[in-house]
Amino acid sequence: MDLTTIDYRTGDGVAHVRFNRPEGANAVTPTFAAELRSVMLEIEHDPAVKAVSVTAEGKVFCAGGDLKVFSAAGHGMPRLASDMLVDFHGAIYKMNRTPKPFVAGVGGAAGGAGLSIVSAFDLVVCGESAKFTMAYTRAGFTPDGTSSYFLARHIGLRRMLDLTLTNRVLSADEAEAWGLVNRVVPDDQVDSATAELAQQLADGPAWATGHAKQVIYAGYESPLEQAGEFEGVVITAAMATHDGREGVSAFLEKRSPKFEGR
């Protein structure tokens, strides 16, 4: 892939995605959105990738939409944004639907669409000085980036309304307490902690981990009986995998399992 705003590499079962436009605060532009969707498609179709680490270069994880680009579009701003959201939202849909865990490592700030995409990751690590803010209404806009779906579910409707309507800024500790992030680490350990967590997931029973993600998301949205039926379909499929059989054997033999991700 020929990328200009994102670095992408793979190794040992992990896809490493790094936003790399620090001079523009890694803000969302049409180019960034298109490249992010391309990366997500690559991850979806690469069987060697078992887990994904997403970090960012510079002091800002993602500042949201690039208002300079929007302003330059003049009266064409709505069309530009509409086209961009096809790719940006499409990338997030792929990230959610692909049966592989996505781990974000947030250093510095995440605002607007940056906070929205953070809320869409499966697991989130952040640095001690990280800050989170919606910022949409400050610019006279309304939320996008699927935050109305993911963020409200993570932190609750009251807190979602508070963040959106008042543009309050959450510290790393507040974000952890509210359920937006999973763990807070020293600022200089964000990248390594994110990579290590993604590697841990890739080295485990990757089929089960990825499909467990799907079971959880589906169950959250389903009636009781439908959730139970889908659980039954997936767990019985897991029992037919190498790792499912290996996990049972290892437990009974009182040894550590040797998972192969299949």
**Residues labelled catalytic:** 89, 144
Closest CA to 12 of 197, 193, 192, 199: 199
DSSP 65: B
Count of CB atoms situated within 10 Å of the CB of 176? 17
Q: Residue 108 corresponds to which tokens in the numbers above?
A: 């510095």
Q: What is the DSSP letter of 141?
A: -
Residue 141: exposure state from Cβ atoms within 10 A (0-12, 13-18, ≥19): middle
- Reported as half-sphere exposure (CB side, CA atoms, 13 A), residue 112 has a value of 21
